[in-house]
């Protein structure tokens, strides 16, 4: 199953409620919310207040991506918003298994994300204890960057490990996903696609962009 997760980071913040509301009719599976703290990554984005406003404007399930130091704090703060997925970075925690357990005990799916230069082993060893593996396809921190094709073998490695272990872990990719890059990511084994610029910046519109991305991803897997 292909899931498209538009990233609200690329929305027009002056029309945030309206844009979030549009995602349901557009057929988005998730709304991806990037929390940045100005420390784990240079920029600061938004936190619980804004995510709560998004949740009140749209019934599309929340996919929260924590690009923060000490994600334990945000996990606790944001659990009340009842996200579908809460993802932390392996680089930001010392006890990833404890945090994954805490996320699950709050009722969310636990995700672990990995930056492009971190050895993939750090993600592979967590697979049995997480619900989603997020392979970053850009350096985290901002939208609009080009997709790093050299991440494709990492996606394939994770997909192979998931299938060989008989797991059902979702495989998400984030960064530079558009109609030209989604097929390769899908063919490599990703099933959940974050897309910011290519959805909110689409000249035709959000709904059309989501539909085209889904078609490209499906064609790549023959589904």
* CB nearer to ligand DX5: pick between 63 and 131: 63
128 touches ligand DX5 by CB under 6 A: no
Enumerate residues 137-196 that contact Zn ion by CB under 5 A: 174
Active-site pick, 29, 37, 131, 174: 174
Q: How far apart are the first and last CA of the chain?
A: 9
Asked if 71 is part of the footprint of ligand DX5 (rule: CB under 6 A), the reply reads no
* Complex with ligand DX5: residue 79 or 148, whichever CB lies closer: 148
Give the separation between CA 145 and CA 159, rounded to whole angstroms: 24
103 alpha-carbon distance from chain centroid: 16
Alpha helices, DSSP H, located in the chain: 16-25, 48-57, 71-78, 96-105, 121-124, 152-164, 182-188, 197-200, 206-221
Establish if 89 lies at the interface with Zn ion (CB under 5 A): no
155 near ligand DX5, rule: CB under 6 A: no
- Helix (H/G/I), strand (E/B), else coil: 110: strand
Question: Among ligand DX5, Zn ion, none, what binds residue 145 when CB lies within 5 to 8 Å by partner kind?
Answer: ligand DX5
By the rule CB under 6 A, 197 interacts with ligand DX5? yes
34 is catalytic: yes
């Amino acid at each position: 199953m292909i899931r498209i997760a538009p990233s609200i980071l690329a929305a027009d913040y002056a029309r945030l409620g309206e844009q979030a509301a549009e995602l349901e009719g557009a057929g988005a599976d998730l709304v991806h919310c990037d929390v940045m703290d100005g420390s784990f990554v240079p920029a600061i984005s938004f936190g619980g207040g804004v995510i709560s406003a998004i949740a009140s404007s749209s019934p599309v399930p929340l996919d929260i991506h924590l690009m923060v130091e000490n994600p334990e704090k945000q996990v606790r703060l944001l659990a009340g918003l009842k996200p579908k997925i809460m993802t932390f970075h392996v680089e930001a925690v010392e006890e990833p298994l404890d945090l994954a357990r805490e996320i699950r005990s709050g009722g969310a799916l636990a995700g672990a994300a990995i930056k492009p230069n971190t050895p993939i082993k750090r993600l592979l060893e967590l697979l049995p204890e997480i619900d989603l593996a997020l392979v970053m396809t850009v350096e985290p921190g901002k939208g609009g960057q080009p997709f790093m094709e050299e991440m494709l073998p990492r996606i394939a490695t994770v997909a192979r490990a998931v299938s060989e272990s008989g797991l059902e872990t979702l495989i998400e990719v984030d960064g530079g996903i558009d109609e030209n890059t989604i097929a390769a990511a899908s063919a490599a084994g990703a099933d959940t696609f974050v897309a910011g610029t290519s959805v909110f910046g689409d000249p035709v519109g959000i709904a059309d962009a989501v539909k085209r991305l889904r078609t490209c991803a499906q064609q790549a897997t023959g589904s």
